[in-house]
Amino acid sequence: MRVHLCAVGRLRAGPEQALIDDYLTRFDKTGRTLGLSWGGITEVEDRRGGGMAAEADLLRRALPRAARLWVLDERGVQMTSPDFAGQIAALRDGGQGDLAICIGGADGLAPDLRAEATLAISFGRMVWPHMLARVMLAEQLYRAASILSGSPYHRI
């Protein structure tokens, strides 16, 4: 199963980008033997100022065809890393070809796009800057692959 990230906004080169690249490279390497691979990041930007609705349309167009949609949202469910790994494994084992995880813009995700998602995930009740949410997601993807492979990276 290919895992994709679709996000509003562009991430510039810097320490966050370096961390993301490192974790996603690790995810791809660890995940390949597990039937998981990194599908890439698609960044979208609403240059016309259409707000959340316009951003949602751009995100929808960025989604791979037939991908399962998950979103990051402060109202989403908080889960443990093993639970997150289990959710990914369940999709993979169910024959899902692509998983797209969306991160919205400064105002979040449009309610209709959130409603289309099969899972909304929260990294806690605090709001995180998008660049840090991307880093945390990249790390959790690598951690999930590590958990599924039995690696000692994740310690309970």
pLDDT at 141: 98
Give a yes or no: residue 110 inside a domain.
yes
pLDDT digits (tens, 9 = 90+) for 21-71: 999 999 999 999 999 999 999 999 988 888 899 999 999 999 999 999 999
Give a yes or no: residue 16 inside a domain.
yes
Q: How many domains does the chain have?
A: 1
d(CA 31, CA 148): 9
Give a yes or no: residue 108 inside a domain.
yes
pLDDT at 11: 87
Give a yes or no: residue 51 inside a domain.
yes
Give a yes or no: residue 156 inside a domain.
no
pLDDT digits (tens, 9 = 90+) for 111-153: 999 999 999 999 998 888 888 999 999 999 999 999 999 988 8
Task: List the CATH number of the domain containing 139.
Answer: 3.40.1280.10
Give a yes or no: residue 89 inside a domain.
yes
SS (H, E, C) 72-132: EEEEEECCCHHHHHHHHHHHHHCCCCEEEEEECECCECCHHHHHHCCEEECCCCCCCCHHH
pTM score, two decimals? 0.94
User: pLDDT-derived band of residue 156, with 50, 70 and 90 as boundaries?
Assistant: low
Domain encompassing residue 105: 2-149
Give a yes or no: residue 81 inside a domain.
yes
pLDDT at 155: 74
